[in-house]
Homo-oligomer: A and B are copies of this chain.
Amino acid sequence: MSVNTFGHLLRVTTWGESHGPAIGCVVDGCPPLIHLSEADIQPFLDARRPGQSRHTTQRREPDQVRILSGVFEGQDGIQRTTGTPISLMIENVDQRAKDYQRAAYRPGHADYAYDAKYGIRDYRGGGRSSARETAMRVAAGAIARKISSEVQLTTYLSELGGDAIDRGAFDADAINQNDFFCPDPKAAERWAVMLDEARREGDSLGAVVECVASGVPAGWGAPIYAKLDAAIAQAMMGINAAKGVEIGDGFAAARLKGSENADAMRPAKDLGGDTPDFASNHAGGTAGGIATGQPIVVRVAFKPTSSIRKPVATVDSDGTETEISTTGRHDPCVGIRAVPVVEAMLALVLADQKLLHRAQTG
């Protein structure tokens, strides 16, 4: 079982609550001799950090990561991984100022479920169930990228509040030029209006994150229970607020005919290699759970933020009827800040698969 550990050969174990002294993770199984310093990790944490636009929570978390083990600086002054566990830690700076009290069960949150399971819960800011834990996924993902450096990842919001991007207007450069990781600048404009309105109403919106991994060699992955699709689905559905995942055409494939869904192949003369040329990629880069060499395409549905100002009926832990209105500084759309998390999880899956593939096939 691996409640707080992710991965088979590249294993990430995270710990920490939103309002404890710190959060952290241990990355075990990393190959040795990879150049690694805090500077390789911090930019990804910065991309996830809240408070960077009016569309995300206004909390201020500097999220400065420290590497506590697993690297060593050689005589050339370059710090490298040693093959031993890499411990990362981020101190929780502001948590002491907060004044949390045990409150009613917040609908959509894990409050009631934690109590039902453990008979106890750290109710300060969500405790372990807070999205704060995802900072460590992003940090670990930065290491994973260095392990599977042949892979390029592109991640963006493809839908917000039910409003999808125009795929004809897809502009990869636009992704980092708006507050939404949106590849369609016009959609980004609409989304800003929608989100402002939701915030005014004390409400929140859902979103769909899409992640494309190019450069994944044909052969990574495995059949049956360890299918690449299964590993990805597990990774994504383990992210806070995720409620659906699809590979390639996903649910839309269930509405196609076999002749429409077929990814025809032809000899890849230009490529000079073994990989055939695929006329389409309905499958999203996998067949039988194994990478085909085509881009891996993943989509993840995020529900709207559960913490909303609009009051909702609920009960407290004594079973008394009450109503809750969450007034703190919350993301009006958790899907936005999920973008770097989805990318990190795919990076972790692929690095693990790279190690697993070479273990069996040499």
Q: Is A253 in the interface zone, CB < 8 Å from B?
A: yes
Determine the chain B residues whose CB is within 8 A of the CB of A133 once the complex forms: 224
Whether A5 pairs with B32 at a CB distance below 8 angstroms is no
Task: Encode contact with B along A278-307: 1 for CB under 8 Å, 0 otherwise.
Answer: 010011101111111100000001111111
Given contacts A5-B13, A69-B23, A83-B360, contact A250 B244 (CB under 8 A): yes
Q: Is A142 in the interface zone, CB < 8 Å from B?
A: no
Tell me the complex Cα distance, A8–B237, Å.
Answer: 18
Contact of A9 among B118, B254, B359 (CB under 8 A): B359
Interface residue total, chain A, C-beta cutoff 8 A: 158
Within 8 A of B (CB), among A139-173: 159, 161-162
Return the chain B residue nearest A80 by Cβ. B120
Q: Is A264 in the interface zone, CB < 8 Å from B?
A: yes
Whether A113 pairs with B16 at a CB distance below 8 angstroms is no
Query: Which one, A37-45, A56-64, A177-185, A203-211, is touching chain B?
Result: A203-211
Tell me the complex Cα distance, A259–B307, Å.
Answer: 9
Given contacts A229-B243, A253-B304, contact A264 B107 (CB under 8 A): yes
Tell me the complex Cα distance, A11–B358, Å.
Answer: 16
Tell me the complex Cα distance, A69–B336, Å.
Answer: 28
Return the chain B residue nearest A238 by Cβ. B230
Whether B72 pairs with A122 at a CB distance below 8 angstroms is yes
Within 8 A of B (CB), among A7-37: 8-9, 11, 13-17, 20-24, 26, 28-33
Contact of A68 among B22, B30, B358 (CB under 8 A): B22
Q: Is A110 in the interface zone, CB < 8 Å from B?
A: yes
Q: Is A77 in the interface zone, CB < 8 Å from B?
A: no
Task: Encode contact with B along A59-88: 1 for CB under 8 Å, 0 otherwise.
Answer: 000000010111010110000101111110
Whether B219 pairs with A113 at a CB distance below 8 angstroms is yes
Contact of A250 among B4, B127, B301 (CB under 8 A): B301
Q: Is A257 in the interface zone, CB < 8 Å from B?
A: yes
Return the chain B residue nearest A75 by Cβ. B102
Given contacts A15-B87, A68-B22, A110-B223, contact A1 B361 (CB under 8 A): no
Whether A68 pairs with B15 at a CB distance below 8 angstroms is yes
Whether A314 pairs with B264 at a CB distance below 8 angstroms is yes
Whether B17 pairs with A84 at a CB distance below 8 angstroms is yes
Return the chain B residue nearest A279 by Cβ. B313
- Other A-B contacts than A116-B274, A261-B306, 9 sampled, CB-CB below 8 A, are A5-B5, A84-B122, A113-B221, A114-B223, A129-B223, A203-B258, A208-B251, A238-B289, A283-B303
